[in-house]
Chain A
Amino acid sequence: MTNHWVDIKNADLVFVMGGNPAEAHPCGFKWVIEAKKQRKARLVVVDPRFNRTASVADYYAPIRSGSDIAFLSGVINYLLSKDKIHHEYVKHYTNASFLIDERFALEDGLFSGYNAEKRSYDKESWKYQFDKDGYARVDETLQDPNCVFQIMKKHYARYTPEVVTRVTGTPTDAFLKVCEYIAETAAPNKTMTNLYALGWTEHSVGAQNIRSMAIIQLLLGNMGMAGGGINALRGHSNVQGITDQCLYSDALPGYLGAPLDADIDRKTYLEKRTPKAMRPNQMNFPQNFPKWWTSLMKAWYGKEATPENDFCYDWLPKRDLSYDVLNMFDRMYQGKMSGFVCQGFNPLASVANKKKVGDALAKLKYLVIMDPLVTETSEFWKNHGEVNPADPASIQTEVFRLPVAFFAEESGTCTNSGRVVRWHWKAVDGPGESKGDAEIMAHLYQTLKHMYAKEGGAFPDPILKLSWPYRIADEPSPEELLMEISGKALTDLHDPKDATKLQVKGGDQLASFGFLRDDGSTACGNWIYSGAWSQAGNLTLRRDSSDPSGLGQTLNWGFAWPVNRRILYNRASADLAGKPWDASRTVLKWTGSAWGGNDIPDMRPNAAPEEGVMPFIMNPEGVARLFARDLMADGPLPEHYEPFESPLETNPMHPKNTKAKSNPVSRIFKGDLEVFGTAKDFPYVATTYRLTEHFHFWTQHSKINAILQPEHFVEIGEELAREKGIKAGDKVKVRSNRGYIKAVAVVTKRIKALDVDGRKVHTVGIPITSGFVGRTKPGFLTNTLTPAVGDANTHTPEYKAFLVNIEKV
């Protein structure tokens, strides 16, 4: 979230699309109800299903799953053509005025530079025009045909209300009604918050779905405002925390890009990741990348990391290719992996195309499962009848199950969607032989280290010389780990401007990443968490809920990264002169000598407005990017592409170009292409989702949850049910080209057939909360049906839009 949970209460409009917070985030949803009760906020929901969130909404519009970009592009066209934008904001705080390379073009669904063979773009023509000083050229009148604003006008003019209806199936009057709600928040003192989750992420165009919304929020001037922002609602209680610490194989902790094969030395690596400012006077905060990276290496390798050995750069693994989950399982499927350590992950249930995942696991020599509960993955080899028809005799994989403590069985921190890091205390010991994750990993490390020391190995240094300063080597305490993550001074730090001034005493915890150095004098395990444990102590312990502004900022409650800032880009909540756009919701204001208000400024604290330092300090432009230049794999502006399994034969936006039917740069594995189904055999659009009563496949072990939701079901509309002779409560079989599931039919008015491009499209809704271990009725895994193709940028699988057929059993 750019904002935070409590801040939702400050919104005038809560726009929910690509998520279903009442269902998946009922506790956080209280703030939506609060906004409705206290601010008279309106709640608008756009979703293929009239869901639990829609049940308390002021307005609901249906949409065909997988057509969000067409819908949102239609909204952008509405705002631009009706001039419902926040002019000052767009002009000064976005790259609307920036000039783009003259060669940039979109032709028949493909951006300039497309290479069909490699399924990728040469992005040279997507860049800015630069002047002789190396700064991006701008036209503040926004009239130059190559400026972003004019490019956007042209790009989005195609998404008329009629086109939106044809592509999305949303009735035109409903679409326009939603546009009206959204457009009202173009007023400087009105804000819209957007709540989304995996309903946007899990598409082959997932990242561009979210970009579309970011563009809308920028046009309306809702970024940085209280009650505004782009708010990703995270699923697991600590998934934000694990992402921050480096969930992804392409990043080091704190979202520092991990080195690639091509980054032959530290200098090359750092140069590529340390941008130069693209406009004068901008903070260009990522220019500090070398400080963050060097401090990370000092945390990992301590005294071993020296300027002479490039701070152990050579010890870091260099990526040869992507190690995302789809690629990992494809490699496993090809027999290229011998072992797999699966920590807090249930891939048989969670990863697309269950059959492929099961076959892949069967090719491993060993599989280690770390989980508090029995998972389907740990029994992938076991025959559970029709729901898991495995043949144990033919599977040689050795499976180890390591019981792990639950969150309440160990102390540590959890980071919520709003980036608020809070300490929690161990309540009870875990049962039996269960151990905390850190303890298991530490023990594994110690064993490996001793083996390397005793027996030698190919490249022992990264393991043998790892800094391991914990009091009990086999059991690093959560306190020690958080202190290491937060960072400390290794020697006395003097003010760079005045060497006589001692800033930080050697050995002290650092107050923020502002003190990090690239000369090896500081250590910090994750720069964005820097200051979470300062000399003032463990700030994540704080539980002071006092809220002087009434905005729910509660700056003394836990610690929010970065630097306890609650609303990102908050400088944009005030005009150029530093006056809040809405004084009644002041987040930040210029006091004459410094930035003050109700948050930690996302700005140099003494940067006077006349200096022209723009609010988006993490961008070398200083402003937000409506046009993403060369930073996205699939285009600088979002374009509608069909899901890889679509009920339509062509992309209605580009009916003549088969190359532009689906995301032209999404990666497709051999073998997966063959198992895509077509609308001829699988005429219905399927989408998957969670239910409130269960947390994925976990709570099926809990009797109360099982009582509340005992058995797998699928939801279909009344019309499809009539056509297929299916009544509520009937057992049905749902097939995709990858397998089938059986479940109980829920027949509902809440899913309507949509008229899409001249044909009727039915939707089949399939909850994912079913499995074959636990106390609920043994059920099929929904991912038996889903395709293993993902987003071109993140490779997140397309769980939300694919094709199925359905019949009564």
Chain B
Amino acid sequence: MALQSLDIKQRSATTTPSPQARQTVEIAKLIDVSACIGCKACTAACIEWNDIRGDVGNCVGVYDNPVDLSADAWTVMRFTETEQNNKLEWLIRKDGCMHCADPGCLKACPAPGAIIQYSNGIVDFHQENCIGCGYCVTGCPFNVPRMSQKDNKAYKCTLCSDRVAVNQAPACAKACPTGAIQFGAKEDMKDYAEKRIADLKERGYDKAGLYDPQGVGGTHVMYVLHHADQPKLYAGLPDDPSISPLVSLWKGAAKPLATLALAGVALGSLFHYVTKGPNEVSKEIEDEIEREDERQLREEAK
């Protein structure tokens, strides 16, 4: 649940206006890919702080473990080997939620209050309100949210909203040994990025730049890239991400229809329960009756 120190900017599927009396500072996490050594300290810190544990997986022929984001892995390192200007490069990108200013997940979400955007910019999932529809997965232009197999709810990076609320940096930023993950006010992060970009340009990376894509209104997780002209190089980081037109439609012109559709979804769920639920129960009851019959038969045989 939201902490008192986190003002809410918007809630999914809610029309009630949010408080506006005070303005909090917009924060951002800046990931300087040029200073990242892929040590995975951030991944470990994330697992530790958020108390999530996936399964011990397998090596699939690359350094990437965990292999992908999951309900138990909210950030992963993606390693890409590429040759640029006849020079081998090993690009290592920390992947996870970008905390968009205009979040596709929140827009797509039909469950009131399941997705919250705080006024500091953090986009947070509140699983107690999540209905497990998976629309946030479709709505995300970065392919970040994941459904849990355990409770069928969606999970992703919270930008450590619990830490930020008490003036602490996210666990990943705190753990990063090289300072590749910086955290602070978004404006300060942009200033810092500018210096890093100037340094990269001086080292021959002419196209170095900041990744803060405007298609989603900018993000609260930004990257310094050596090749800002080719975000795709970095394990498929979208060149120009935007919210799916379907989601925009859903929240835009078709809103009345959407409300209707939401009702439809809810109704569908109800039907699902009504039709599927009793089936399962009856099967169990049948089995029970059968076992009971067998017992009686055996006892009679004695």
Contacts and interface: CB of A to CB of B under 8 A. Distances in A.
Interface of A: 22-23, 26-27, 29-30, 33-34, 36-37, 40, 50, 52-56, 58, 60, 692-693, 703-713, 727-730, 744-750, 775-777
B57 A55 contact: no
B56 to A, nearest CB: 4
A40 B83 contact: no
Contacts of A22: 37, 39
B90 interface: yes
A704 B58 contact: no
B276 interface: no
Contacts of B272: none
A729 B39 contact: no
A55 B59 contact: no
B56 A26 contact: no
A26 B58 contact: no
A728 B61 CA distance: 5
A40 B201 CA distance: 12
Given A55-B37, A707-B53, A707-B54, A748 B177 contact: no
B63 interface: yes
Most buried by A among B57, B180, B196, B199: B57
Interface residues of B, number: 41
Interface in B56-92: 56-63, 65-66, 73, 81, 83, 88-92
Interface string B173-188: 0000111100000000
Interface stretch (B43-51, B97-105, B151-159, B238-246): B43-51
Nearest to A54: B90
Most buried by A among B47, B63, B203: B63
Interface of B: 34-41, 43-44, 47-48, 53-63, 65-66, 73, 81, 83, 88-92, 177-180, 196, 199, 202-203
A711 B65 CA distance: 10
Contacts of B73: 707
Most buried by A among B48, B66, B178, B203: B178
A750 B61 CA distance: 14
Given A27-B177, A40-B199, A744 B59 contact: yes
Given A40-B202, A707-B66, A750 B81 contact: yes
B88 A750 contact: yes
Given A37-B199, A56-B35, A708-B40, A30 B177 contact: yes
B39 A26 contact: yes
Contacts of B179: 30, 33-34, 37
Contacts of A730: 61
Contacts of B59: 709-713, 729, 744, 746
A30 B39 CA distance: 12
Given A29-B177, A708-B44, A777-B56, A55 B90 contact: yes
A748 B88 CA distance: 11
B63 A50 contact: no
B120 to A, nearest CB: 27
B39 to A, nearest CB: 4
Contact of A708 (B37, B65, B81, B83): B65
Contacts of A60: 88
Given A711-B59, A746-B63, A692 B53 contact: no
B56 A703 contact: yes
Contacts of B58: 710-711, 744, 777
Contact of B38 (A37, A692, A703, A707): A692
